[in-house]
């Protein structure tokens, strides 16, 4: 559920579209009347407050612009984080629970296919060596991602793992870099708060 509160009119309403936890909501950098959500149900949804300020339809797909599913199954891939590219707000990237970052151009989304996706090669090898069942959600779930101010880098945090610096303009995932001394993170959520603080420093020094 998403709660919408109008402080001027002192009203509140709900959007019941998402099925599961809504991990993050992001305002549209182009239009303040629009916001986006990413959810456990594998969807990115776009809401325009000029059209409606509530939705009472449970788990509807009306506002869905991306819906991720695993190959050969109907299971969804949860999306935990969403960020717009500062230098080109038509581009957004999502952090998913299958360890992949996916980037989309919202002007031309087709068949839920990203124009770019990456999982650091170190993590791919680690997943292959893991005893964690490969048919389940990845052990190394993305919990948060953010762009640098110039849009040339992304910081990505993983549960049970570390924080990675990714260069989305490079086709070679070997350019990703793992920050040292950050592996004591866990699934309790502290990695998200650590990354939020870390990212504020990262953006400040751009």
Give the total number of structural domains in the chain.
Answer: 2
Same domain, 27 and 40: yes
Confidence label for 134 from pLDDT (cuts 50, 70 and 90): very low
- pLDDT surpassing 70 at residue 27: yes
104/147 same-domain check: yes
Are 61 and 75 in a shared domain?
no
Query: Comparing 21-35, 91-105, 183-197, which segment has the lowest mean pLDDT?
Result: 183-197
Claim to verify: residue 28 and residue 76 sit in the same structural domain: no
Which of the two residues, 194 and 99, has the higher pLDDT score? 99
Cα 152 to Cα 51, 86, 123, 149, 158, distances in angstroms = 34, 10, 21, 8, 20
**Do residue 124 and residue 185 come from a single domain?**
yes
Q: What is the pLDDT of residue 179?
A: 59
Q: Categorize the per-residue pLDDT at 160 as very low, low, confident or very high, splitting at 50, 70 and 90.
A: confident
Residue 159 clears pLDDT 70, i.e. is over it: yes
Do residue 118 and residue 198 come from a single domain? yes
What is the full DSSP assignment across 29-97? SS-TTEEEEEETTSEEEEEETTT-S-B-STT--TTEEEE-B-TTS--B--EEEEEEETTEEEEEEEEET
Do 80 and 61 sit in the same domain of this protein? no
Residue 83 belongs to what domain range?
A: 70-206
pLDDT score of 152 more than 50: yes
Each residue's pLDDT tens digit, 168-185: 766 555 455 665 544 434
Domain final residue pick, 13, 38, 67: 67
pLDDT for the residue 197: 47
Residues 44 and 83 in one domain: no
Tell me phi and psi for residue 196, to 5 degrees: -60, -45
What pLDDT, on a 0 to 100 scale, did the predictor assign at position 124?
A: 74
Residue 146 tokens, joined: 């953010």
| Domain termination residue (choose one: 36, 67, 98) | 67
Alpha carbon distance 20, 77 (integer Å): 12
Residue 71 has pLDDT above 90, yes or no: no
Q: Give the phi and the psi of residue 117 in degrees, each rounded to 5.
A: -150, 150
Q: What is the pLDDT of residues 101-130, one digit of tens each?
A: 999 999 999 889 999 988 887 777 766 665
pLDDT digits (tens, 9 = 90+) for 31-57: 999 999 999 999 999 999 999 888 888
Contacts 24+ apart (CB under 8 A), 188-195: 189/143, 191/143, 191/144, 191/157, 191/158, 191/159, 192/143, 192/144, 192/157, 194/157, 195/143, 195/144, 195/146, 195/155, 195/157, 195/163
């Amino acid at each position: 559920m998403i709660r919408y509160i109008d402080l001027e009119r002192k009203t509140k309403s709900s959007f019941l579209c998402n099925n599961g936890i809504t991990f993050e909501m992001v305002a549209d950098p182009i239009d303040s009347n629009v916001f986006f959500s990413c959810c456990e149900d594998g969807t990115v949804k776009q809401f325009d407050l000029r059209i409606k300020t509530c939705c009472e339809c449970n788990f509807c797909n009306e506002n869905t612009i991306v819906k991720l599913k695993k190959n050969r199954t109907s299971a969804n891939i949860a999306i935990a984080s969403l960020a717009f590219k500062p230098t080109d707000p038509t581009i957004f990237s999502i952090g998913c629970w299958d360890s992949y970052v996916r980037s989309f151009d919202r002007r031309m989304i087709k068949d839920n296919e990203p124009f770019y996706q990456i999982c650091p090669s170190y993590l791919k090898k680690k997943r292959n060596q893991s005893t964690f069942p490969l048919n389940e959600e990845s052990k190394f779930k993305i919990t948060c991602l953010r762009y640098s101010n110039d849009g040339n880098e992304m910081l990505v945090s993983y549960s049970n793992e570390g924080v990675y610096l990714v260069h989305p303009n490079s086709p070679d995932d070997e350019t990703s870099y793992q920050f040292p001394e950050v592996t004591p993170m866990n699934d309790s959520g502290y990695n998200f708060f650590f990354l939020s603080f870390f990212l504020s420093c990262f953006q400040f020094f751009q």
